[in-house]
Structure 1
Amino acid sequence: MESADRLKQLLHDQYIRFLHVHEAYMDIEIEQLLDIAERRAITRLPRNITAIHVIDCIGRNEPINSTAIAEVMDLSKASITKIGSKLLEEGFVERTQLNDNKKESYFRLTPQGKQLFDLHTQLHQVEAERFCGFLDKYTDGELGVIRNFLQDYSMELERKLTEGV
């Protein structure tokens, strides 16, 4: 039993290390995004990664309303309203109404928002290819275990979030 407890502790330690390294990597990813944007003469960027992901959500689903963005991103409608207003003010998105529904407003990307969406999509594609290449060293069985672990632990963390930790 002691070896199982020791292995669990080692896994926990490695998980904590992973979180720290991942956070540092995300900081670098944001810096890369800013650097590439500067080289492409994209002068204004949201400084919040969630705002960039809202732009991504709009770009993938436009036209889309605040309620749908909140559902897709699993965020509160109030958060999306606040971020959407900021993106509107900064010129990344515009509000439109569909012909058959004058009551509800929808978001679409402006040309500036489309530039940022395209850049973000390219960076995510490169990251996905890098990640999949990294996974090539594992067998199908090992990949199944990794998938199950990530799925189970994500569900556990989501449960804790909804319970208020």
Structure 2
Amino acid sequence: MKQAEATRRHIYSLYWKISHLREQYESREITTFLQRADEAGIENCPRNITSIHVIDCIGNNEPINNTAIAEKMELSKASITKISTKLLEDGFIKRIRLNNNRKEIYYRLSLKGQKLFILHEKLHKQEEERFYRFLERYTEDEVLFIQRYYEDMAEEWERKLTAEVGFEV
């Protein structure tokens, strides 16, 4: 086997290793977050990171409507509608209408949502600082390559998510 092919196979192996490790880490991260939320007296906490990030987006931009949340988070309006409906039911956000636009619905955090927002903000800041410390081991050129890699990988995942589901046999 040629060196280039061996390197590609090793990268593919690492890709799956990182996928599995990321899945395990996210599971631990959400479990820890839910424990902290429980300790803070926050009930019915969302069990997925995307819902928590919707709360974060609302908290950072309130009042904000579905379209703006979808744009800022780069998610579909349908998924934001589904998430915001559940967050409304669970009391994390409030629906409001602005005086100059009685037709359009905007969201603000409820007191319960504000508590979760503050908790998430604290934990998110710790994770962000850890990530920046990790990047310090690389040169500026390497960081630019990492940026390109992540942009390409995000584009690839978006393509996969919008492509027709199925496997070639």
Q: Give the TM-score normalised by the residue count of structure 1.
A: 0.92
Matched, 1:74 2:74: yes
**Residue of structure 2 in register with 1:84 after alignment:** 84
Instruction: Report what 1:24 is aligned to.
Output: 24
Please give the alpha-carbon distance, in whole angstroms, between the structure 1 residues aligned to 2:64 and 2:78.
16
For 1:62 and 1:164, how far apart are their aligned partners in 2? 36
Structure 1 spans left out of the alignment, 5+ residues: none
Q: Distance in 1 between matches of 2:164 and 2:119?
A: 35
For 1:18-72, what per-residue CA distance to the aligned partner results, in whole angstroms no more than 9, with x for missing partners? Answer: 0100110001110111121122222331123222111111111111111221222
CA-based RMSD? 1.6
State the match for 1:143 in structure 2. Answer: 143
Amino acid in structure 2 at the alignment position of 1:95:
R
Q: Which amino acid aligns with 1:153?
A: M
- Contact 2:30–2:48 under 8 Å retained in 1: no
Partner SS for 2:107? strand
Unaligned runs of 5+ in 2: none
- Aligned residue type for 1:156: E
Write the letter of the residue equivalent to 1:103.
K
Question: Hey, what's the Cα distance between the residues in 2 that align with 1:82 and 1:155?
Answer: 24
| Distance of 2:36 and 2:50 partners within structure 1 | 19
Q: Give the SS at the match of 1:59.
A: helix
Q: Does 1:44 align with 2:44?
A: yes
Q: Secondary structure at the match of 2:104?
A: strand
Distance, in Å, in 2 between the alignment partners of 1:157 and 1:79 is: 17
Look up the match of 2:160: 160
Report the TM-score, using the length of structure 2 for normalisation: 0.90
- Is 1:12 equivalent to 2:12 in the alignment? yes
**Correspondence list, 1:48-59, <5 A:** 48-59=48-59
Within 5 Å, which residues of 2 pair with 1:103-118?
103-118=103-118
Letter in 2 for 1:131: F
Question: 26-35 or 66-75: which moved more?
Answer: 66-75
**2:133 — aligned with what?**
133
* Partner amino acid, structure 2, of 1:16: W
**Secondary structure of 2:41's partner?**
coil
Q: What is the distance in 1 between the residues matched to 2:163 and 2:47?
A: 30
Percent identity over the alignment is 51
Amino acid at match of 1:91: G
- Structure 1 distance, partners of 2:144, 2:116, is 34
In 2, Cα distance between the equivalents of 1:163 and 1:43?
Answer: 37
In 2 relative to 1, CA 157–85 (structure 1 residues): closer, same or farther, beyond 3 Å?
Answer: closer
Residue identity matched to 1:120: H
